[in-house]
Amino acid sequence: IEEAVRILRQRAQKKGSVKENRLSYDHLEFAPQWQYTSPEIGCHYANGVIRQKLWFSCPSGNATGEDISRLEPILERVITEGGFEGKEYVRIIDYSQIAKTSFSTREQYAGLIKKLNRRFNCQPAMTYICGANPFVKASLLVFTKFLNQNFIFLDSVSQAFEAAEEADDSALPQKE
């Protein structure tokens, strides 16, 4: 996991210098308890947060239904420890490293996300999808209404952070 986080940070830095803004990759916190690695097949799910504002994820490998079940307590911790309970937040997901995953596994994952958002009374104000291939884009569009989320598809993580930073304040999480 630490190696994956290091690689993700290097990638973001290579795609342009990070300016000092409130939503930048460099501000992400990657707590060890928020990371998942499948012991069997090498599926990874990296999570980083800017507390109460932004949740970043980078799945990689080929997830199974068992992986989605194991992911639930990890995502619960991301939501609670990241300060997203009862709040809207910005979501960025980097799908550039995902392998082929079955439609039923994607459906199970979408159900998990919907269940957690409902349980913790939280919801992405905007979801930026990065690096998704055409198959992933199509499957995500199928779940758009089911998840009640707005997706914006971009090529890179750096573009997503730029778009999130430039978004209208009304689309960003409410300040307390």
Does residue 169 carry a pLDDT above 50?
A: no
Does residue 171 carry a pLDDT above 80?
A: no
d(CA 122, CA 79): 8
d(CA 89, CA 175): 11
Q: Which helix H or strand E contains 68, and what residues bound it? A: helix 65-81
pLDDT band at residue 103, thresholds of 50, 70 and 90?
Answer: confident
What percentage of the chain reaches a pLDDT higher than 70? 81
- Give the residue carrying structure tokens 């978004």: 167
Q: What is the mean pLDDT of residues 168-173?
A: 46
pLDDT for the residue 134: 86
Phi-psi region at 150: left, alpha or beta (left = phi > 0; alpha = psi -120 to 50): beta
pLDDT for the residue 39: 75
Higher-confidence position of 110 and 34: 34
Side-chain half-sphere exposure of 156, counting CA atoms within 13 A = 12
pLDDT per position as a tens digit, 31-74: 999 999 997 777 999 999 999 999 999 999 989 999 999 999 99
